[in-house]
Amino acid sequence: MKLSITRLVLLLAMLTTASFAVAHGVDDNTRTFLQQNTGVQFVPFLYIGAKHMITGYDHLLFLLGVIFFLFRSREVLLYVSLFTLGHSITLMSGVLANIQVNAYLIDAIIGLSVVYKG
């Protein structure tokens, strides 16, 4: 019971301080492009996504978790596939359904999922 209360307090603390976080560390040029974008631009978004996969802290922490906590090839394949599927579904849902969510809240949830994995 004590562990559950601790987790709840930690979750609430993270959610209330999420607005102070830096959302994915987007540089100024990328931020300007994203804010001014009005149409479909496949190649620039492909580049931004690839850059995020290499430098995004959620991906780096995910990779660290996979390296240190999963040992069987089947577990690695399953976990990487589920991460990719979840990321793809949320991104496509956001774009296709025009759902806009506070990026700081999303970063807090990503951080919680990484902590949970750890």
In the numeric block, which tokens belong to residue 28? 């100024």
How much is the CA Rg of the chain, to the nearest whole Å? 16
Task: With beta carbons less than 8 A apart as the criterion, state whether 79 and 47 touch.
Answer: no
Task: With beta carbons less than 8 A apart as the criterion, state whether 30 and 44 touch.
Answer: no
Q: What percent of the chain has pLDDT over 70?
A: 75
- Nearest-angstrom CA–CA distance, 76 and 68: 11
Q: What is the pLDDT of residues 2-44, one digit of tens each?
A: 557 776 666 666 556 544 444 456 778 888 887 888 777 888 8
Q: What is the pLDDT of residues 87-109, one digit of tens each?
A: 788 878 887 888 877 777 877 77
pLDDT above 60: residue 66? yes
Within 17-96, residue ranges assigned H as helices are 28-36, 42-55, 57-69, 73-96
3-state secondary structure of 17: coil
- Nearest-angstrom CA–CA distance, 79 and 62: 10
